[in-house]
Structure 1
Amino acid sequence: MNAHEFAAVLKIPVLTAWALAFSMSGPSGNAAWGQDTAGGSGTAATDSESEDASSKQSPPPTLRTLPSISDPLTEEEQKSPLDEYVGPDEIAAKAFAPPPGAKSLSSRNLWVDRKASRVYIDGYVAMNDGPLEMFACPTGTKEHESVVATIAHSAEVHAALLAVGAMPGTTVRFLPRYVPATGQRIRVWVCYRDKQNQFKVVDARNWIRKTGTNDTMSVDWVFAGSGMWKDPSSGREYYRADSGDMICVSNFATAMMDVPVASSAEASELEYSPLTKAIPERGTPVRLVLMPIPLPTDENNGKTEEVAKPTEDILPANEAAKKK
């Protein structure tokens, strides 16, 4: 039986018949037309078919046997590309040694120096060009709209600010009228090393510009304090800013730190944008230094004292990580 006859019997296209026959072929590659490899069984060939057979065309190659899905994977096949991936948060967590004189407040790279009234937070540059609602957020939350992603959670940073004496205030209110966030002002510094391993320190506001201009942000952040939310089904309480609203440049009623001026979160009306040319490339490890700005007192005649810019000693290299 040839391919045409095989197709006619099964009422299928000739090419389909060929494919089906090849899938049924034996180790020799002979198509399963009903004859064995010796040609001794099956329908007798006609004269014309004998003449065709005399040309002795080469049979199609035997199809390669594919491995069974139940075959065990080799050790090399078991290695996933994800096993070798190291995220920017992991790199940032090992980039620097702890700041001298500071006490660890969390296993997530968070320290406090009560004597110097400083909070240290490690993280990395998450975004340097795009819509901006936060300056900093915890990793795994709002990195797509934040300049920096921190390893520590917002609730932990809140506790750290309290530990160095910062005074929380109130979050923004929108109804019945707009009331800006309040709280002690907090200066935010960004410390990092450039590609030449040179120490850099910059006021975080200089990485943010007024949308449509190159004017950098002038207002300081205030420690608004966010708040707690209770899940009615479980009764469990959550710190609201842990969802991403750590250091905001758009007003949110959930903000841990906010700007004390009207700043919309509407995409078409964003007050601030990243100053892209000033921000290093994404993934760059950074150490944020949060410093409460002293409140005016009678002793300083009601004047606000300036806070000292951090120096290179607060950013020691992690020599232990380099040896690994």
Structure 2
Amino acid sequence: MLTVCLLPITTVNAQEEEEKEASPAETKPAEAETPMVNPEDVKLQESNGIRKLMPNMPVWIDTKRKMVIMDGEVCLRKGSLEMFACLRGTKEHESIVAVPVDAYVVHAALLGIGAKQGEPVSFDPEYTPPSGDVIDVLVQWTDDKKKLQSVRAQQWVREAQGKKEMAYNWVFPGSYFWKDIPLEEIQKAKKEGIDPDTLPGKQVYAAEGGELICVSNFRSSMLDLPVPSTDANNNLWFEANTEKIPPEGTKVRIFLIPNKGKTAKLEAAQKAKAAENLKRAPMKEENKEAPES
């Protein structure tokens, strides 16, 4: 774990260039969009508006600059990915970074700085992308020359097919809760005509399975990509961008920063796309009914 003393915290320049969005969630290439940073030394302590949420977890909220801060470690540099960051002891074999926290604590931290939670991805009856505020994810670490480095997390992820750096923003669907009820109790309730949802049981936050910051769509994702991304979609599947990632075991600090500007653009683009699809639907129906010549 990183020592909780002096480390620069990046702040995003308010005058970002306008983004070219090839799709509702896509941005310009990572290098072009990496925000200008204004490093300053900040102690992770109460007097600076930074508060640690749990005594045994490296996660803080910065109430002044509206960001969540957490410490982790590089656990993978090569191979296919389902997550950028997982919970420690869960999905390290398919994640670049492992973080020793509970997912519900990070979720609560985002809500605490004003991030708006959306809805998880849905696949039935058709694909509906996850929604929620766009969350910028920045990563800091000290390289082998003792120099502090800072990049957008997207630079550590690339498309498996085209090898291009990932150009999509993360959103905050916020996962979901489920009840831990034994299967036999559920079956018994159904036989007796009782709604299983009314049975008593422990509430479990689904993202505790490890799905903290995902690059593959899961309903359990705390942060997810608002585009179809699965191992079944060969056109959009991600892997570690090995050359850009520091050695395994490198301690890193992650910043989660709600971006209302990108959220507004994403929502507008998705509404426009939905309206366009609605217009096309009647045309498809007409084509189906048209008699063959």
TM-score (norm: length of structure 2)? 0.67
Instruction: Report the equivalent of 1:317.
Output: none
Q: Which amino acid aligns with 1:105?
A: L
User: By how many angstroms is 1:95 displaced?
Assistant: 3.6
Matched, 1:228 2:173: no
Q: 1:238 to 1:269 in 2, by over 3 A?
A: farther
Native 8 Å contact 2:83 2:211 kept in 1: yes
Native 8 Å contact 1:250 1:270 kept in 2: no
User: By how many angstroms is 1:296 displaced?
Assistant: 7.2
Deviations 1:187-232 (A, max 9, x none): 0000110111110000000111111233111111000110101111
Runs of at least 5 residues in structure 1 that lack an aligned partner in the other structure: 1-91, 305-324
Instruction: Report the equivalent of 2:230.
Output: 264
Native 8 Å contact 1:192 1:286 kept in 2: yes
Task: After TM superposition, list the pairs within 5 Å mapping 1:284-295 onto structure 2.
Answer: 284-295=250-261
Native 8 Å contact 2:139 2:153 kept in 1: yes
Matched, 1:123 2:72: yes
Instruction: Report the equivalent of 1:27.
Output: none
Task: After TM superposition, list the pairs within 5 Å mapping 1:1-324 onto structure 2.
Answer: 92=1, 94-97=2-5, 99=44, 101=48, 102-107=50-55, 108-233=57-182, 235-266=201-232, 271-295=237-261
Q: 1:291 to 1:131 in 2, by over 3 A?
A: same
Native 8 Å contact 2:71 2:251 kept in 1: yes
User: By how many angstroms is 1:286 displaced?
Assistant: 0.2
Please give the root-mean-square deviation of Cα atoms over the aligned residues, in Å: 2.1
Instruction: Report the equivalent of 2:192.
Output: none
Q: How many residues align?
A: 208
In structure 1, how many angstroms separate the alpha carbons of the residues matched to 2:139 and 2:221?
20
Deviations 1:230-254 (A, max 9, x none): 1113711110001011100000011
Q: Which amino acid aligns with 1:272?
A: F
Regions of 4+ moved over 2 Å: 94-101, 265-270
Q: 1:269 to 1:295 in 2, by over 3 A?
A: closer
In structure 2, how many angstroms separate the alpha carbons of the residues matched to 1:204 and 1:99?
22
In structure 2, how many angstroms separate the alpha carbons of the residues matched to 1:165 and 1:254?
21
In structure 1, how many angstroms separate the alpha carbons of the residues matched to 2:231 and 2:219?
11
In structure 2, how many angstroms separate the alpha carbons of the residues matched to 1:206 and 1:296?
18
Q: 1:214 to 1:122 in 2, by over 3 A?
A: same
Native 8 Å contact 1:106 1:152 kept in 2: no
- Secondary structure class of the residue paired with 1:122: strand
Runs of at least 5 residues in structure 2 that lack an aligned partner in the other structure: 6-42, 183-199, 267-293
- Secondary structure class of the residue paired with 2:53: strand
Q: 1:270 to 1:214 in 2, by over 3 A?
A: closer
Q: Which amino acid aligns with 2:178?
A: W
In structure 2, how many angstroms separate the alpha carbons of the residues matched to 1:230 and 1:179?
24
Native 8 Å contact 1:133 1:270 kept in 2: no
Q: 1:240 to 1:296 in 2, by over 3 A?
A: closer
User: By how many angstroms is 1:269 displaced?
Assistant: 7.4
Instruction: Report the equivalent of 2:194.
Output: none
User: By how many angstroms is 1:270 displaced?
Assistant: 6.3
In structure 2, how many angstroms separate the alpha carbons of the residues matched to 1:174 and 1:188?
26
Native 8 Å contact 1:185 1:222 kept in 2: yes
Native 8 Å contact 1:132 1:270 kept in 2: no
Instruction: Report the equivalent of 2:287.
Output: none
User: By how many angstroms is 1:287 displaced?
Assistant: 0.4
- Secondary structure class of the residue paired with 1:257: coil
Deviations 1:249-290 (A, max 9, x none): 000011101000000145977611110000001010000000
- Secondary structure class of the residue paired with 1:241: helix
In structure 2, how many angstroms separate the alpha carbons of the residues matched to 1:214 and 1:296?
25
In structure 2, how many angstroms separate the alpha carbons of the residues matched to 1:175 and 1:303?
26
Q: Which amino acid aligns with 2:44?
A: P
In structure 2, how many angstroms separate the alpha carbons of the residues matched to 1:178 and 1:267?
13
Deviations 1:156-213 (A, max 9, x none): 1000000110000000000110001000000000011011111000000011111123
TM-score (norm: length of structure 1)? 0.61
In structure 1, how many angstroms separate the alpha carbons of the residues matched to 2:257 and 2:123?
28
